Structure 1
Amino acid sequence: MSACKFLASLSGAAVTTAILSAVPAHAQQADMDVIIVTAQKVAADINDVPMSITAASGDMLTKMGVTDASQLGKIVPGFTYNETAYGTPVFTIRGIGFQETSLGASPAVSAYVDEVPIPFSAQTVGLGLDLERLEVLKGPQGTLFGSNSTGGALNYIAAKPTKDLRAGLDATYGSFNTVDLQGFVSTPVTDTLGVRVAARYTRGDSFQKSMTRPDDRLGQKDFLQGRIILVWEPSPIWRTTLNITAQRDRSDSLAPQYIAFNALNSGAAIPPGFINFPRAPEDNRVADWDAGVDFARNNRFYFGSLRNEIDIGENARITALTSLQRFKRYQPLEGDGTPFNNYRAESFGKIDTFYQELRLDGTIGRASYIIGANYEHDYVDDNTIQYYTESSSAIVFGVPLGPTRPNTQQRLNTYGVFANVDYDLTDQLTAHAGVRFTQANRRLLYGCGQDIDGTWADVSAAIQAYLNTLAGNGPIFTPVEKGGCGTIDQDTIQPGGATGTLNQNNISWRLGLDYKPTDEVLLYANVSRGYKAGSFPTLAAATTRQFLPVVQETVLAFEGGFKATLADGAIQANGAAFYYDYTNKQILGRIPDIAFGPLPSLVNVPESRIWGLELDVVMRPLPGLRIHPAVSYINSRLGDGFVNYDSFGQQLDFSGEPFPYTPEWQANVDAEYEFAISENLDAYVGGTMIYQGETSGAFGQYPILSIDAYTTFDARLGVASADGRWRFQLWARNLTDNYYWTAAYRNNDSINRFAGAPRTFGATLNFRY
């Protein structure tokens, strides 16, 4: 069976979406597949879209083992993924990410499901259910998409109901007794109504091994999700799509590896065993954690969207998007990678989102246009119970400190009005222009380090007495009730929660030209200005100063590139060069806290810049053989005059340093050879190499916080029926069991890393009816 036949059998959609699909050995031509994307909110051939985009079908993501965003580096040059110490996923494209731990932090790389924004990174786990395709857009995405982002966007396109009965099952069994079952049923209900139901369940045994307890394991998987999509077409000019999705995650949070001891403060509460705890071995499976603690999450996400499309004549269409979303979080976290209670947390939270968009698109003569408006309302409740009884923070001003509860509630209202026009100056030259006005109003309703057992109330009283003594008032204080707010207003020296508002607006825009000297070549140049909204942090804070927000960041982006189909369709080459000039880039820096020393806090970098190059090539030199190399180079630098605290509490000038989590070089190569075994049976063999260059987990360029370069290899071997009904594949990931890590950071009194995935083997059966 050919890979493209198999892909076509998946969705029954009129559009094929397989940028990576292999050409069978018995094919009579080497032409590339036509890939239709909606990166500009209208359907277009990917080779006609004047921006850098990577697209992959849902089936190819499954085939390559890309089950979530953490593995997108296999197909997207310049993309990196890491998790913060609090388990928040961070997406970075071309060096632009946001290493923020708060639940309500707007990401630099935004995610969408069928153009509906998923506003916060914690909600993005599990978006890959039953996909038609995934589109990864690079660079500022402020003119057309609802959530302004400076780094890029992940646009997940869900598979829709088909015109006839279809069903499918993807069943995987792998290492650590991992079972991954995904299936769908799609059918017409009436002549005007179609339905598609999809579900996925993933479970697996624990794979992390404790350094100190031979029989203790961590890392079990337990993830369940389901979706129903209804498409109603009551007339040829009206189409309604309803998407209802629900998921729950009861998987374990993973433990970091302990690397070194480094006290945040001087404190007698630190046990000698922690100070002398051995460094974790170079083994992806070995770490440690507090004994007897259940690290299973209980996260839930509910998503509903309604899309109405109405044609107005032959050349115009109105589209209305409405979405309601709720995310609820319970996520326990091991913080120090040892059996000591130096730092452990339980994160709670809730996000409620309402989104509405209305737009008109169409064509008038040589011009294609889009005009519209959208509104988003978010409420975010973010709080974390922190345990650190065996740390340097356990005694403050001579007072023993029990658990505390950093807590914020925020309300966000975002309004946008946008317009975009593409005008054909000639048959070969097209001009592009887009603009958006955004008003982002964010209010901190409450921000507090909350007492739990009375000990933080006592510490708050001691800090008040100290501050009042410095102010000449004597050692006076206002008592804090047990369970009350111990955070102190530095102006009034009174306990109470922080409040604040951050109302900002901006005008993002994009101008571009593209030129097609032939039907097979596109040359383009763009200049754009993008913004990312500011935010308030959620963190442990003795004073309200820690809750000061960062203002919006701004980027002026220049990009030039080409897309060329060469050698009679045997080669598709895409390349781009880009330069980003940043103002007020948001980062997670540090601000001195009177009780705990320099603590993480959001700060703005006045000036910074990035420039880079990308090349992505798909080659089919022989029938059945596909080779897909991609490489990116990113040069990032902070501007002059940025002074802040490093991870060890030293105030330094970081001018000229590269961005953390931004390797200069990244590369991936995927190759596959498909051949016919018989008239009814095909076979294929393939593999993927991924290279990530060296980078750092924090400012300061400290070797202990470096993230070394690494290379991993995946392999696959499969057979498939020629009629597209089934495929069986054996696979291996991280075949050489290479030890590597994806994050390095200082957390309380320890230096830690998150190790990469160990070697795994498995088999996958795909069946389509």
Structure 2
Amino acid sequence: MRMLVRYSVSGAAMASALLCSPALAQSGETPEEPTPQSGIGDIIVTAQRVAENSQDTPLPIDVIQPEELVQQNVLRAEDLSRISPSLSAASGGGPTTVFFVRGVGNSTVNAYSDPAISFNYDGVYLGRPTSTSGVFYDLERVEVLKGPQGTLYGRNATAGAINVIPNRPRLGETSGNFTLGYGNYDWLTGQAALNVPVGDHVAVRAAGSVARRNAFQSDGTGNQKEYGGRLQVYGEPTADLDLRVAFDFAHQGGAGSSGFYLGAVNPTFGPTGFAGYDFVPTGFPVDQGLLDPASNALLAQRFIPQLGRAGAVVDGQPFNNNDYWGITAELNYNTEAGTLTVQPAYREASLEYAFNGVFRQGYTQEEDRQTSMEVRWAGDLGDSVDYLIGGMYFDESISANARYNQQTLSPYQDFSSQTESWAGFGKVTVRPVEGLSLTAAGRYTSDKKDFAGTSNVYILFCGNPAPPQDFCPNLPFVPLASTEEELQAFYAANGIPITPVPLFVLPPFAGGSQTAPFVLRSPIVIDSGLDNNKFTYRLAAQYDLSRRNMVYASFETGYHAGGFSFARGAETYEPETIKAYTIGSKNRFFDNILQVNVEAFLWKYKNQQFSQFGYDLGDPPSTVFLTRNIGNSTIKGVDLDVELLATENTLLSANIQYLDTEYDSFVYFAPNQGLPPNTSCPFAPTTQTTPGGSTINVFRIDCSGNTAFNSPKWSFNLNGQQTIPLGDHKAVVQGGTRYRSSSFSTADYLPYLRSEAAFVSYASLTLAKEDDSLFVTFYVNNIEDNQRLITGTTNSAGLISASAEQPRTYGIRVGGKF
């Protein structure tokens, strides 16, 4: 549990907390304001769809306070991984975010599938991982729920949920706050909020945010241009009825980082033939982007066997031009029998973005629309039984076109998808004797999904790809053509045929050639549907040893729906499931001076979904990005969260996670194009049979026994805060560090693609008035300038394109409130 606020000592309030007011979540029921108390203060959460003290909630949960979000410059969803030890989040290209919790997640960043972590903004599930930006301002808190969410929250998810909860309007209060920041990279940030009453029964709250930053990388990529706004109207026409309507919008510009070249992978040969792969580091700094002249000079030297030539460059400029908006309403009606909550919502996203990585340029244009409705009834049966029942409807439509230029091939995709999901859920808690609570919760979900589209894959060859090597020194690379017609016209003008049949397999009398270049056009047409129905449930027991000490145990199941791939013979994949066993204890000691929460967990992860570049089962096969169910894993560990109010003005905290993961089975297939795969996992040549009866040569790769992706064995955050009273003013000194041990993020488990262990520390000094009405903060993040490797992928020229965490940043913030 993360709690860096308290009620009794004003000096413990971080100056950046001036951004928000401590409004309680109005979800189902609104508890009374907490009574001022000494020691560490309480935090109200809605992780079980009712408002309750986090220390009384028998769930593994990290609660991130607004001041931490400001301290760590959290502006996008992937920034949350700098705060929560259990969460790994990274940009997946353009606006997409890839999430993992304790080694469970998925790296699919297209519109073919659902995320493995449920992202909920203002109580509304967001279906696309591209829509998680532009919401991190004027927040009450962020909740990171660890483990399967199979009962109460949004769509089902195997890994967990992230709940972003804005501040709500407050009746009878005129208030406002602002903060402005400036730092290196010309990083300008600003946030402001204004709360205005309209009579006695209505209040309006408006908030906004802007962030602009120069590029993190030498090629001008990794810059930021974002802004957003939120308007809420809240009314209480009667004591038993309240209604809130919220509208928000956001724009994301700038460009994601292009990446950097980590090294080159070269096949070596001896007297008996192939002798292995040799990794040669480039020595390039992590801020030398792929479009940098020095990076392109290295790429241009690399010989690409399939094309029979060198000279490739990365010249496709990355950019973001993404707009989001949504509207939601929340109605709560209190009766003597219980509380009715109704929340309809509608959201749209209009996306156009480009990115690099292993691509000369990847490009997507996409329109997303989602409609949802959730209805809940919360009540009790006397003093010993509480219950909640509800239902949810979710409808999503996506239309998109995309292209992914990889120098040697480029698919042109045009597709649409539709998802309709119904769910009914319920929870009942029984207290048979004093101190003991027994909870049972369940959810039945019905997901119906349809996908239709075409992907025309154009693959360039210099004659025969097999030895002896063909050479085509003047063969044009796949151009940055925005349409198929442009690409076809380009190669027609160069006299290079485009054919649906590999010419090197045909004899000369049939039009084939062993030496002349050609473009293979491989059409992939998908028109498929999925119906997934699943019942998931949770059983939990909690025993209160005292008013401030409790133990709990739970068992919960989770489910993540199947999805689609542009892959013939592998168009769909099945749902994955998880079973989670948890025991824990939450405690306060010494009159709220010391808080100790501990959790032990065991997860059994089945039918895991895994995304990769590989062959589909077409005749002939195409290299595609596809998702398959590849195996099972066992995940276990311990979380320990400790907070100590050492003195009236000194607060210390530690959040520690130990994680032990193992893939019980993990088998996937890679194309056999002559040379063995570059992996540390055992492999063997084999074949796959296509639906048409042909055979495809592949390698069967078995990574069973390895640790899970993005799952460092040790993760911890250490934080300290000291308040120094200065008469009518105060100084607040804060510092801390986070540590992640080494881990892998790719399925080849190569040592040079391991993310090495690293410390990342921060410090700040805040000078403020005693009543927090004005403040100035000086800060530095990532003091060590450790940029831990996030991921790396080998391109067609044998160079590893990698990405890393943010560099050292520092600056100043000023703000105030009234």
Q: Structure 1-normalised TM-score?
A: 0.86
Aligned pairs for 1:42-441 (under 5 A) are 42-84=50-92, 88-163=96-171, 164-210=173-219, 217-262=220-265, 279=282, 281-284=284-287, 287-288=290-291, 294-313=317-336, 315-336=337-358, 343-365=360-382, 366-388=384-406, 391=407, 393-394=408-409, 403-441=410-448
SS of 2:441's equivalent? Answer: strand
- 2:302 aligns to what? none
CA distance in 2, matches of 1:209, 1:709: 26
- 1:762 aligns to what? 811
Q: Structure 1 residues 280, 375: closer, same or farther in 2, change over 3 A?
A: farther
Query: Given residue 732 of structure 1, which amino acid in structure 2 is its aligned partner?
Result: V
SS of 2:542's equivalent? Answer: strand
Shift of 1:504: 0.8
CA distance in 2, matches of 1:404, 1:589: 15
1:611 to 2:626 alignment: no
- 2:550 aligns to what? 522
Count of aligned positions: 703
Shift of 1:372: 0.9
Shift of 1:549: 1.8
SS of 1:639's equivalent? Answer: strand
SS of 1:100's equivalent? Answer: coil
Identity of aligned residues (%): 22
- 1:556 aligns to what? 579
Q: Deviations over 1:179-210 (max 9, x none)?
A: 10110111111222111111111112223114
Shift of 1:80: 1.1
CA contact under 8 A between 2:654 and 2:716: conserved in structure 1?
Answer: yes
Q: Deviations over 1:414-437 (max 9, x none)?
A: 110011111112221000110000
1:669 to 2:718 alignment: yes
Shift of 1:330: 1.1
SS of 2:67's equivalent? Answer: helix
CA distance in 2, matches of 1:37, 1:641: 37
Q: Structure 2-normalised TM-score?
A: 0.81
CA contact under 8 A between 1:666 and 1:691: conserved in structure 2?
Answer: yes
Q: Structure 1 residues 48, 374: closer, same or farther in 2, change over 3 A?
A: same
Q: Structure 1 residues 567, 746: closer, same or farther in 2, change over 3 A?
A: farther
- 2:693 aligns to what? none
Aligned pairs for 1:539-688 (under 5 A) are 544-545=568-569, 548-593=571-616, 599-640=624-665, 642-645=667-670, 650-678=699-727, 680-688=728-736
SS of 1:99's equivalent? Answer: coil
- 2:695 aligns to what? none
- 1:492 aligns to what? none
Shift of 1:13: 4.5
Shift of 1:29: 7.7
CA distance in 1, matches of 2:404, 2:197: 52
Shift of 1:133: 1.1
CA distance in 2, matches of 1:85, 1:618: 37
CA contact under 8 A between 1:297 and 1:331: conserved in structure 2?
Answer: yes
CA contact under 8 A between 1:104 and 1:120: conserved in structure 2?
Answer: no
CA distance in 2, matches of 1:617, 1:756: 27
- 1:711 aligns to what? 759
Shift of 1:651: 2.8
CA distance in 2, matches of 1:68, 1:654: 33
Q: Structure 1 residues 16, 194: closer, same or farther in 2, change over 3 A?
A: closer
CA distance in 2, matches of 1:190, 1:76: 41
Q: Deviations over 1:433-459 (max 9, x none)?
A: 100000011111224236343549999
Q: Which moved more, 1:93-102 or 1:641-650?
A: 641-650
- 1:500 aligns to what? 528
Query: Given residue 741 of structure 1, which amino acid in structure 2 is its aligned partner?
Result: L
The one of 545, 558, 565 equivalent to 1:537 is 565
Shift of 1:79: 1.2
CA distance in 1, matches of 2:612, 2:17: 48
Q: Structure 1 residues 441, 141: closer, same or farther in 2, change over 3 A?
A: same
Q: Which moved more, 1:655-664 or 1:236-245?
A: 655-664
CA distance in 1, matches of 2:148, 2:815: 37
Query: Given residue 743 of structure 1, which amino acid in structure 2 is its aligned partner?
Result: T
Q: Deviations over 1:449-484 (max 9, x none)?
A: 3634354999997344779989xxx989xxxxxxxx
CA distance in 2, matches of 1:5, 1:108: 34
Shift of 1:562: 0.8
Structure 2: segments with no counterpart, 5+ residues: 1-9, 27-35, 268-277, 293-312, 458-483, 513-519, 671-676, 680-697
SS of 2:176's equivalent? Answer: strand
CA distance in 1, matches of 2:805, 2:287: 6
Shift of 1:724: 2.2
